[in-house]
Amino acid sequence: MIEFRSVSKRYEEGALAVAEVNLAIAPRAVTVLVGPSGCGKTTLLRMINRMVDPTSGQVLIDDVDVATRNPVQLRRSIGYVMQNSGLMPHRTVLDNVTTVPILQGVSRTQARARGMELLATVGLDASLAKRYPGQLSGGQQQRVGVARGLAADPNILLMDEPFGAVDPIVRRELQTELARIQSELAKTIVFVTHDIDEAFLLGDQVVILREGGHVAQMGTPTELLANPVDDFVADFIGRGDESKHLRITERNGTRLVVDQRGRVAGVLAAPEQAAEPHPSKREGGAWTG
């Protein structure tokens, strides 16, 4: 469990990026931080692995304040995937994936064997292992980024707009792959995006942030769609994709999420199911869009 306790961050000479955030992030589930540009998503994410330290408040992992942890060791123990893959251009795909495990003392042979397995896990052909990042497509590079994030077998995987720079079709493929990988590995994933559709697709829990680093609302996709707490959340949910404008309707006794043309985008669970925290979604429950 990752916990933010009254966490604020003010950058030097900057405005308050995150203001008094209290948040509990469930283990072995996907929590998505979503909100407009500059609302503090990346700042929150980076406070988990101490790439950023809070100005006040505490971030705890399994009840241990991360401020007490060695930042380098902490960072190596947590997977991190960023938008432009962040791969080292002069090292092969396999070397990129195996760097952290080798730094952590895993033998080269073992790390390479595991690295090849991970390339398969993220849907990459073994023949790509010897290539350099520049010889891959954007989508393939992001897959390598995910493999690298998983290489040290971390409990926690932080993902900062990992699919933001690829075209919509590849993005959809990567989202589907991530959902499949997560259904097998059950990591604690914290995922940042500004795309509400992506948030609803991947998130067991979705945290909607507003300007100034305030949490506007947190809940399952079903809860947020059914009961937005204010106009900001209602607008943000509807505004995610101009062609969609999701709303809830009832047909033959079933509550459906439909887009503005009336196409069904998902089925809402009965209220008692919707109250359950998470795995419901992928096992045929709350959000089946």
Of 34-42, 89-97, 104-112, 279-287, which part binds ligand ATP (CB under 6 A)? 34-42
Is 42 a binding residue for ligand ATP by CB under 6 A? The answer is yes
Q: What does the CA dihedral 250, 256, 259, 265 come to, rounded to 10 degrees?
A: -160
| Least Cβ distance, residue 206 to ligand ATP (angstroms) | 15
The residue type of 22 is N
Of 11-19, 53-61, 116-124, 227-235, which part binds ligand ATP (CB under 6 A)? 11-19
Q: Cα separations (Å) of 64 from 2, 59, 158? A: 9, 8, 18
In the bound state with ligand ATP, the residue whose beta carbon lies nearer, of 23 and 268, is 23
Q: Is 9 exposed, middle or buried (0-12, 13-18, 19+ CB in 10 A)?
A: buried
Report d(CA 202, CA 176) in Å as an integer: 9
| Those residues with Cβ within 8 angstroms of residue 83's Cβ, 6 or more apart along the chain or in another chain | 160, 161, 162, 164, 165
Please, are residues 177 and 122 in contact by the beta-carbon 8 Å criterion? yes
| Least Cβ distance, residue 162 to ligand ATP (angstroms) | 13
In the bound state with ligand ATP, the residue whose beta carbon lies nearer, of 95 and 198, is 198
Q: Cα separations (Å) of 236 from 29, 43, 45, 47, 213? A: 23, 20, 21, 25, 15
Q: What is the DSSP string of 131-175?
A: S-GGGS-HHHHHHHHHHHHHTT--SEEEEESTTTTS-HHHHHHHH
Is 41 a binding residue for ligand ATP by CB under 6 A? The answer is yes
Over the window 182 to 211, marking each residue x when it contacts ligand ATP by CB under 6 A and - when it does not, the resulting string is: ------------x-----------------
Residues 90-119 interacting with ligand ATP (rule: CB under 6 A)? none
Please, are residues 49 and 79 in contact by the beta-carbon 8 Å criterion? no
Of 35-43, 65-73, 165-173, 265-273, which part binds ligand ATP (CB under 6 A)? 35-43
Residues 43-62 interacting with ligand ATP (rule: CB under 6 A)? 43
In the bound state with ligand ATP, the residue whose beta carbon lies nearer, of 39 and 136, is 39
Please, are residues 115 and 98 in contact by the beta-carbon 8 Å criterion? yes
In the bound state with ligand ATP, the residue whose beta carbon lies nearer, of 38 and 279, is 38
In the bound state with ligand ATP, the residue whose beta carbon lies nearer, of 35 and 266, is 35
| Least Cβ distance, residue 264 to ligand ATP (angstroms) | 30
Residues that bind ligand ATP (CB under 6 A): 11, 14-15, 17, 35, 37-43, 194
